[in-house]
Amino acid sequence: MSASITAPARSAGRLVFAAFVLLALLVWPLLVENVFYQRVGALVMLAALSASAWNLVGGYAGQISIGHVLFFGCGAYASLLGFTWFEWPPIMGAPFGIALSLLLAVLVGLPTLRLKGHYFSMATIALAELARIIVVNSPSLGGGVGISGPAIPRSMADLSFISPLPYYYIFGAVLAVLLLFTWWMGRARMGFYLRAIRGQERAARSLGVPAQRYKLYALLVSAGFTSLAGSLYAAMVGFVDPDSGLGILLSVKMVIVSALGGAGTLFGPLVGAAILVPLEEFTNAAFGGDGTGITYVVYGAIIMLISRYAPGGLAEILARLKAWGARHAR
Amino acid sequence: MILGQVVLNGFLVGAVYALFSSGLTLIWGMMNVVNFAHGDFVMIAMYVAFVVFTALHLGPAVFVPLAAVLLFLLGVLVYFSLVRHVMRGPMLAQILGTFGLALVLRYATLWVFSANFVSLPDNLLGPVVTVAGLRLEPSRVVAGLAALTLTIGLHLLLTRTALGSRLLAVAEDRNAAMLVGIRPDPMQALAWGIGAACTGVAGALIALFFYISPTVGESLALIAFVVVCLGGFGSVPGALVAGLLIGVIESLSAFWIGPANKDVVVFILFLAVLWFRPQGLLGKA
Amino acid sequence: MTIGRRPLLAAPALLLAGRAFAQGAAQGTPIKVGSLMPLTGVAASAGNSAKAALELAVELINTPQPDLAAMPLMATAGFPAIGGRPLQLVMADQQGNPSVAQNQALRLITQERVVALTGAYQSGLTLTASAIAERHGIPFVNGESVATNLTERGFQWFFRTTPIGPDIAAIYMEFLQQVRVGGRPVAKIAIVNENTEYGTSIADVIRRTAEGRGVSIALQIPYAANSADVSAQVLQLKEAQPDVVIFISYTSDAILYARTMRAQGYRPPVLIGDNSGFSDDSFVQSAGDIAQGLINRSAFDASRPGSNAFKINALYKTRTGREMDDTTARIMQGFLVACDAINRAGSTQPAAIQAALRATDLKPEQLIMGYRGVKFDAKGQNINASVLLVQLRGRDYVSVYPADTATAQLELPYKGWE
């Protein structure tokens, strides 16, 4: 690279690169015959979707929620309850899950978004745990046993496919919509406000940023998409119980995926998911059968190493590489 | 009479919660570093007690101090190898790093000790005694006293000693502390060592009456986080008060409205406290 | 189908087989059977016990075991009807997560090319994993999950050998009826159950069965299995003074209950601990001494010398140093039934194995479990599954009910720590 590259050329290069990545994302599952890899691909998209949704609140606005599973659970349960009660195709429950999530986001957001730092995180954990315990104790919601979707697919609308490919593209499409919104938001006023709030909330307020209101907006969008992710998950797996739909580990996973890739960046959660999910699945495939727990020793150690050498997530490494490249270009 | 026993049991469980949280109070509550591996530190201490007892046939007089020393070393090691670097990044990096650490500790233990549940013999500290019609397990009473001692000790350390002021200065503002000539790294490392040593004492004592398995810390960790937060950041006595409060409320609500719902009451109370006192029970505003 | 595609792998296997043959070991390309178990997470202890049992099963099938000749596949090496090819177990960790269970089922089917699947321990995970097997047309044999709905889904590839909720509830009720005839009050029954899938479903079915027979459950206390303290429940029982207490618990809480009951000085006249936690050898070692006279549900009676169960338990004990518990034995039985069907199918074609499973008709002497046999109905449920009750004496369970299979006399009331 030489310093003579002009700005338009650089942005054209970027476009070509982006188009290439997009094409690769669209085409690779068709080239891979291995169904297990295709399924891992679908799970990457799903994890990227829920982490990107979390990223709006946790990354851009800097409000570390560890209770986002609340919204995920709304979506998952709405899907399968729609089937259990009315024999709907699971995905028909999604709008209801989203509506419930938005309502909860307002109810939950108004009191908790006042809280600072760790207090906010702990309040979100408490709310999600409350929801989990209430579901466990409600036989009409499946209680501790959980609820399942259609055992045998009745029509296409049940979204019950033998191949993981349709899931990959459905999850990917929703993710694309979310990323487009995030990209737009990053350049719109809302993005500036959220970043200001993340940096110095008190200063932002004194400059007239309506902090509460914009944090709530971010939470609403985030809750809606997280809920949709939950509905899609439920349609694919066909079963949800309090642990898999409302367990605290799911909230933590959203945080981990975003933090690993780079919270508050557009593609951070996708990058995080693209690394973490295959890592999880492949360590499990390689070592899980031993029963020695080595799966998690390897998985945990890699997470630890990444946080040790790139505390800002992989986005930080990219930025460092870029800076290094720029220095050497001159 | 039964109700008296319920309240007493609540206090004793609350003391266990306070004991369980004591290390977290220092590391998270005072030094402001999230430690997702806290429960697993306690679990390691429980295994120290188990190994010392089964392999060397030595009692609590040996394994409690030994657990404290070993965990102190683990804490310092974790600080220098992981936490120090992670602290350069945002708070999320702490979650990421200590989450990874938790998995490594938990499953390395599973690797070594297998997933089977083990326990120390019942009544290692003597049989149940009856005082005024109330039944008391010596091991739980000892745990309660230890929680009280550790809390007072930590509180005095932080408020009455020069070392304490230095620790707090570093936690407050690393750079400013450096300007007045305090080297932050040894201070932070010491805080991690002391915090981990507290969890060592806690784990070794809890092992006297609890089952031991690689995943035991995972199930107890959440309550420790609630205890520290409810007590309020920046307050050591807050965690003791919060622990006891949660213990008694859990015990009463389990007795009256059923054990499946006891945590509903606890979490609602927790959220209500945050609503009225966003800085926790005894935290600084 | 796997052999044809891998001639290169077969060649060295044949070379090796010459040497193995001299020792009577199985020869040829291994036939793979998959098993999904919780090898990490809170249920890891159960999953790892099962893993040890399945590995033992593979060893027994692949080498001649004249001592166990009454059981299918034991007298010979490998699968005699499929050219003596050996059995290979492919374990996978489902991590206690319904989605991971599906991922691993998919991996075992499409990558490892297993001819049958077994597992997946928790009913919810069995449900999701077997849905994958159903879509891919691979037989799934379950030996341990008790949720009734698993065999109500109209699946063609799902088979289950274990007794389920209604069988379990029925034997408790019959047993209590006999205790009542013996002159001991059993009118006031309390159920204490952990509130996830296992505890809830068993408690519900016991309640329904009891009510169907005109017996009401006086008190039901659901609780969260991971709680740090169970003394409130024990005090509730102490105050209510029921005649019979039925605990439905996992290992961790079972240990806590036994200890807390001693600490609070509470002993009900009849104490039943339903299987899971109370069967775990960890419970017996940790708290067995203070839970003397505990009555447990089991279908695995290793107390009769000369029985298959006795021999298998002895082998398992040399291998692991632990007693085989009922859950582990049921998992092993499911696996053995799958292997027997593969052999009778005489082929690794899924459809042939499915047909063989449907034609399964094993007799009690061919099993390790105390079932009346294994024979599947149209839904895939074993109609000859049965349950027996055992009582804790010292650190062993002895069978006490029903009378025709009992090896010891029932002793009441519950002794606990005395």
Map out the domains of chain A as residue ranges: 34-248
pLDDT in the model for residue B124: 86
pLDDT in the model for residue C21: 43
pLDDT in the model for residue C25: 65
Whether B260 and B210 have beta carbons less than 8 Å apart is answered as no
The per-residue pLDDT of chain B, averaged, comes to: 91
Q: Please name the member of B93, B229, B264 whose beta carbon is closest to the beta carbon of A119.
A: B229
Inter-chain residue contact B86 with A133, CB threshold 8 Å: no
Q: Amino acid identity of A68?
A: H
Q: Give the CA radius of gyration of chain A.
A: 21
Q: Which CATH class is domain C2-163+305-366?
A: alpha beta
On the question of a cis peptide bond just before residue C120, with omega within 30 degrees of 0, the verdict is yes
Work out the widest C-alpha separation in chain B, in whole angstroms.
60
pLDDT one-digit tens code per residue, C146-196: 988 899 999 999 999 999 988 999 999 999 999 999 889 999 999 999 998
Q: What is the DSSP letter of C324?
A: P
pLDDT in the model for residue C382: 96
Own/partner long-range contacts of C404-407 (Cβ < 8 Å, ≥24 apart): C405/C301, C405/C370, C407/C301, C407/C303, C407/C304
What is the rounded CA–CA span in Å between residue B97 and residue A305?
Answer: 8
* Residues ≥6 apart with Cβ < 8 Å to A233: A46, A72, A75, A76, A240, C99
Q: Tell me which chain A residue has its CA closest to the CA of residue B262.
A: A133
Q: Contact partners of C by the rule of 3+ C-beta pairs under 8 A?
A: A, B
What is the rounded CA–CA span in Å between residue A110 and residue A174?
Answer: 27
Whether C180 and C189 have beta carbons less than 8 Å apart is answered as no
Strand order through the sheet with C140-142:
C87-93, C31-37, C116-119, C140-142, C158-160
Whether C245 and C217 have beta carbons less than 8 Å apart is answered as no
Which position has the higher pLDDT, A69 or B170?
Answer: A69
**HSE-CB of C86 using CA atoms within 13 angstroms:** 23
Chain A hits for B214, CB-CB cut-off 8 Å, are: 293
How many whole angstroms from its chain centre is CA B44? 13
pLDDT one-digit tens code per residue, C128-156: 999 999 999 999 999 999 988 899 999 99
Whether C300 and C369 have beta carbons less than 8 Å apart is answered as yes
Query: Is residue C16 pLDDT above 50, yes or no?
Result: no
Find the DSSP H helices in B25-137: 38-56, 60-78, 84-86, 91-113
pLDDT in the model for residue A330: 61
Whether A97 and A228 have beta carbons less than 8 Å apart is answered as yes
pLDDT one-digit tens code per residue, C198-223: 899 999 999 999 999 988 899 999 99
Inter-chain residue contact A288 with C110, CB threshold 8 Å: no
Return the residue matching tokens 């003074």. Answer: C241
What is the rounded CA–CA span in Å between residue A250 and residue A68?
Answer: 8
pLDDT one-digit tens code per residue, C75-113: 999 999 999 999 999 999 999 999 999 999 999 999 999
Same fold, C2-163+305-366 and C165-298+388-405: yes
pLDDT in the model for residue A154: 83
Chain C hits for B214, CB-CB cut-off 8 Å, are: 44
Inter-chain residue contact B278 with A316, CB threshold 8 Å: no
Inter-chain residue contact C224 with B263, CB threshold 8 Å: yes
What ipTM describes this predicted complex? 0.91
Architecture of domain C165-298+388-405: 3-Layer(aba) Sandwich (3.40)
Minimum mean pLDDT range among A211-220, B75-84, B207-216, C15-24: C15-24
Tell me the helices (H) and strands (E) count for chain A, helix number first.
Answer: 14, 2
| Burial status of residue C417 (CB atoms within 10 A of its CB: 0-12, 13-18, 19 or more) | middle
Q: CA angle C179-C185-C187, nearest 5°?
A: 105
Query: Is residue A6 pLDDT above 90, yes or no?
Result: no
pLDDT one-digit tens code per residue, C372-396: 999 999 999 999 999 999 999 999 8
pLDDT one-digit tens code per residue, A90-132: 999 999 999 999 999 999 999 899 898 889 999 999 999 999 9
Mean pLDDT of the region C328-357:
96
Q: What tokens does C53 get?
A: 């049992």
Return the residue matching tokens 């839904």. Answer: C379
Q: CA angle C122-C127-C133, nearest 5°?
A: 120
Q: CA angle C78-C84-C87, nearest 5°?
A: 35
- Sorted by where each begins, the domain ranges of chain C are 2-163+305-366, 165-298+388-405
SS3 C273: strand
CA dist list (Å): A267 to A96, A252, A299, A323: 29, 19, 22, 19
What is the rounded CA–CA span in Å between residue A52 and residue A75?
Answer: 16
Query: Is residue C8 pLDDT above 70, yes or no?
Result: no
Strand C217-223 and strand C244-248: pairing? unpaired
pLDDT in the model for residue A151: 83
- Sorted by where each begins, the domain ranges of chain B are 2-276
pLDDT in the model for residue A7: 63
SS3 A263: coil
How far apart are the CA of A192 and the nearest CA of chain B, in angstroms?
19
What is the rounded CA–CA span in Å between residue B17 and residue B10?
Answer: 10
The candidate with the shortest Cα–Cα distance to B150, out of B7, B17, B9, is B17
Out of 1.10.3860, 1.10.10, 1.10.3470, 1.25.40, which CATH number does the structure's domain B2-276 have? Answer: 1.10.3470
What is the rounded CA–CA span in Å between residue C210 and residue C219?
Answer: 13
The per-residue pLDDT of chain A, averaged, comes to: 90
Q: What tokens does C239 get?
A: 């105050």
